[in-house]
Copies of this chain bind each other. A is one copy, B any other.
Amino acid sequence: MAVDLVILTLRSSKLQVLLVERGVAPYSGLQALPGGFLNNAAEDIEGAAHRELSEEAHLDGAQLHLEQLGTYGKPGRDPRGRVISVAYLAIAPSLPEPIAGTDAASASWRPVDDVLSGGLNLAFDHQQILADGVERARAKLERTALGTAFCPEIFTISDLQKVYEAVWGVSLDPRNFYRKVQGVPGFLVPVESTRRTTKGRPARLYRAGTRAVLSPPLTRPEHPIPVEEER
């Protein structure tokens, strides 16, 4: 039994994922998702995910979003033998500095687009796990407040808009986005009498509200869906 982590964040307005370079066989030298085996037969699976998050990424799970993504257990996915891996999706707020820690030398943020477009091969079935994680994040942005997990505690509406644009890979009208998110009660909580130094007019600041499910949902612009012809 193992756990693997898809840790997503926003850096330079791009959706990025944390990868580590494998130092041992199999797939030594290849990039992989952070993860590892359960410590012992009694370790809680989600506890193991938190432990790996801390060990490999030096992220404490306090205010970090962490959810189970799925379980990958096809025989043959690990050449060492039967390994069943429970994958978790973690969302981290933008952090100023790159991850520094024990495995720091081998850990790096990579733009998700670069990885998924095939420019970088991942070990095991990690490419698939990453794709599933990104799709989960895309879908959950529509109906839940997951977007705020990408933001620091205090943020502006345009910060949040950058999250949506990066994850969905679209560009949105800032004025309509502004009203849309404000129109969801409990999504954003204004932080009174505060602002931030920027270029133009200062923006109001917000904290994430308690509302977990967004209604009405924020719909992503419709991407072309090929209608398969009936056979």
Q: Which residues of A contact B (CB under 8 A)?
A: 1, 41-45, 68, 70-71, 73-75, 82, 84, 86, 185-186, 189, 209-211, 213, 215, 222, 225, 227-231
What are the residues of chain B within 8 A of A215 when measuring CB–CB? 222, 225
Closest to A223 in B: B215
Nearest 3 CB-CB pairings of A with B = A45-B73, A210-B228, A186-B227
Taking a contact as CB atoms closer than 8 A, the residue among B43, B44, B75, B230 that contacts A189 in the complex is: B230
Report the nearest B residue to A41, measured CB to CB. B82
Question: Could you tell me if A211 and B227 are in contact, using CB atoms closer than 8 angstroms?
Answer: yes
A17 to B70, CA, bound (A): 23
Q: Which residues of chain B are within 8 angstroms of A209 by Cβ–Cβ distance?
A: 230
> CB within 8 A of A71: which of B45, B210, B211, B228?
B45
Q: How far is the CA of A45 from the CA of B83 in the complex (A)?
A: 11
How far apart are the CA atoms of A84 and B38 in the complex, in Å?
12
A228-B186, A228-B210 given; A82·B44 CB < 8 A: no
Complex: A231 Cα to B75 Cα, angstroms: 49
A175 vs B42: C-alpha distance in the bound complex, in angstroms? 55
Contact B68 A70 (CB under 8 A): yes
Separation of A42 and B82 alpha carbons in the complex (Å): 7
Pick the contact of A230: B42, B70, B73, B210 (CB < 8 A). B210
Could you tell me the distance in whole angstroms from the C-beta of A181 to the nearest C-beta in chain B?
A: 15
Find chain B residues with CB under 8 A from A75 CB. Answer: 42-44
Quick one: closest B residue to A73, CB to CB? Answer: B45
Q: How far is the CB of A54 from chain B (nearest CB, A)?
A: 19
Across-interface contacts of A185 in B (CB, < 8 A): 227
Nearest chain B CB to A221's CB is how many angstroms away? Answer: 11
Q: Complex formed: what's the CA distance from A71 to B84 in Å?
A: 11
Chain B residues within 8 Å of A82, by CB: 41-42
A35 to chain B, nearest CB (A): 15
Additional 4 contacts, C-beta under 8 A, given A41-B82, A44-B75: A45-B71, A73-B86, A186-B230, A210-B231
